Amino acid sequence: MPTRAPRRRRDLVPVAFVAPFLLLFLLTFALPIGYAVYQSVMDVEHTGALGLGGSHTVFVGLRNYSDALSDHAFVRSIGRVLLFAAVQVPVMVALSAGLALLLDSASARGVRFFRAAFFLPYGVPGVIASILWGFLYVPGVSPLVDGMRHLGLSVDLLGGNTVLWSIANIVTWEFAGYNVLVLVAQLRTIPAELYEAARIDGASAWMTVRHVKLPLLRPALILTTVFTIIGTLQLFAEPLVLKPVSSSIDSAYTPNLSAYNEAFTNDNYHLAAAEAVLLALAAFALSFGFLRLINKRGGDA
């Protein structure tokens, strides 16, 4: 919007149109976030060994933040999701792009079927998916693990060094199809004339992908990458569900799990609020950092 009309009374009309949205936005986004920030700088103090002397809420400044950041388990959980993201984001985006391009290729057969099949896991709630995969990971119950053992491969899919990638597998299975759909939709918007022109210029299939499809797919790729970054940092349901079957998932395995645990098990609502705010800040920094990086590299998203 390069120019703006001079203000007049009639400009109140658009305000009335956006008011419902603004109201909902304030109520469901700004207010809870503001409240979480408020809670994160407060704490409860008790009187007497059992609190029978009563309790009251006091302002503690940034103490909850320093507590959260000096908690090794919480800091490690942030490191863990960052490591997870470093692997998961490229794998997810490359896999989704690969599948989308295959579906879009001229020789693809049964496109509708595969599109539905890829998307199907997305219809399964994350908790259910984690339970399903949980069964496939537990030795003695899983045909997968047993089958591999017969082949002489003994792998512990729930061990300390592997369980994070077992979770990555669930997450990929769940969400790759969704990303494929976004990418396929973008591919569909590419005008057929471009392909025709490329063909006339003698471009091979690979060259069409490299020089026509991928550049035009860029906005959708950026979108799915940002979604994946945010989703990765929020990792919660999968480790929560796998926790009872794996000795390697502790109560602060991911930042979200840690905040949940502080709030609902340890009654430290204020510390949980601080952790939630820190997580939000990290997600904000990463996704906007990524967008800036992309924009600097040239071209508009």
Partner 1 sequence: MSRTTPRRRSRGALAVTLAAASLLISACGGSTGSKDPAVQAPVKPGQKVDLRFWSWVPGVDKAVDKWNATHPDIHVKLEKIPAGSSGGYAKMRAALKSGNAPDLAQVEYQEIPSFLLENGLVNLSRYGADKDRSKFVDWQWQQGVFDSAVYAIPQASGPMGLFYRSDLFKKWGITPPATWDEFAQAAQKIHSADPKAYISTFPAGNSAWFTALAWQAGAKWFGVNGDTWSVNIDSSQTLKVAAFWDKLRSKGVIKTEPDFANGWYKDLQTGAITSWVSAQWGDAIISGNAPQTAGKWAVAPMPQWTKGSNASANWGGSSTAVLKGAKHIPEALKFAEWLNTDPTSVDLLLQGGYGWPAAADAYKGSSLDKPSKFFGDQKYNEVFAQADKSIDNSWKWIPTIDATYQHLNDGFQAALAGKGTFVSAVQQAQKQTVEDLKRKGLKVSTGK
Question: Which residues, numbered 278-297, are part of the site for partner 1 (CB under 8 A)?
Answer: 280
Helices (H), the chain: 12-25, 31-40, 63-70, 72-104, 111-119, 126-137, 143-150, 163-188, 192-200, 205-208, 214-233, 237-242, 255-264, 269-296
- One-letter amino acid for residue 79 of the chain: G
Cβ closer to partner 1: 211 or 218? 218
Helix axes 255-264, 269-296, angle to 10 degrees: 160
Site pattern 201..220 for partner 1 (x: CB under 8 A) = --------------------
Query: Should residue 249 be labelled a site residue for partner 1 when binding is judged by CB under 8 A?
Result: yes
Quick one: tokens of 149? 């053992």
Task: Supply the minimum distance, in Å, between the C-beta of residue 205 and partner 1.
Answer: 28
Query: Should residue 157 be labelled a site residue for partner 1 when binding is judged by CB under 8 A?
Result: no
Cβ closer to partner 1: 187 or 198? 187
Looking at residues 4 to 43 of the shown chain, list those that interact with partner 1 (rule: CB under 8 A). 32, 35-36, 39
Looking at residues 120 to 139 of the shown chain, list those that interact with partner 1 (rule: CB under 8 A). 125-126, 134-135, 138-139
> How distant, in Å, are the alpha carbons of 25, 162, 252 from that of 18?
10, 49, 41
Q: Which stretch binds partner 1 (CB under 8 A): 103-111, 146-154, 193-201, 240-248?
A: 240-248
Among 75, 124, 144, 263, binds partner 1 (CB under 8 A): 263
Query: Should residue 178 be labelled a site residue for partner 1 when binding is judged by CB under 8 A?
Result: yes
Give the Cα separation of 266 and 122 in Å (integer).
33
Cβ closer to partner 1: 204 or 247? 247
| 3-class DSSP state of 58 | strand
Burial of 287 (0-12, 13-18, 19+ CB in 10 A): middle
Query: Should residue 66 be labelled a site residue for partner 1 when binding is judged by CB under 8 A?
Result: no
Among 20, 48, 191, 299, binds partner 1 (CB under 8 A): 48
Query: Should residue 146 be labelled a site residue for partner 1 when binding is judged by CB under 8 A?
Result: no
Among 213, 221, 232, 286, binds partner 1 (CB under 8 A): 232
Pair 234, 126: CB distance under 8 Å: no
Our CA dihedral for 54, 60, 66, 71, rounded to 10 degrees, sits at 10
Looking at residues 91 to 110 of the shown chain, list those that interact with partner 1 (rule: CB under 8 A). 92
Among 251, 290, 291, 294, binds partner 1 (CB under 8 A): 251
Under 8 Å CB-to-CB from 183, ≥6 apart: which residues?
A: 96, 97, 100, 217, 220, 221, 224
Query: Should residue 166 be labelled a site residue for partner 1 when binding is judged by CB under 8 A?
Result: no
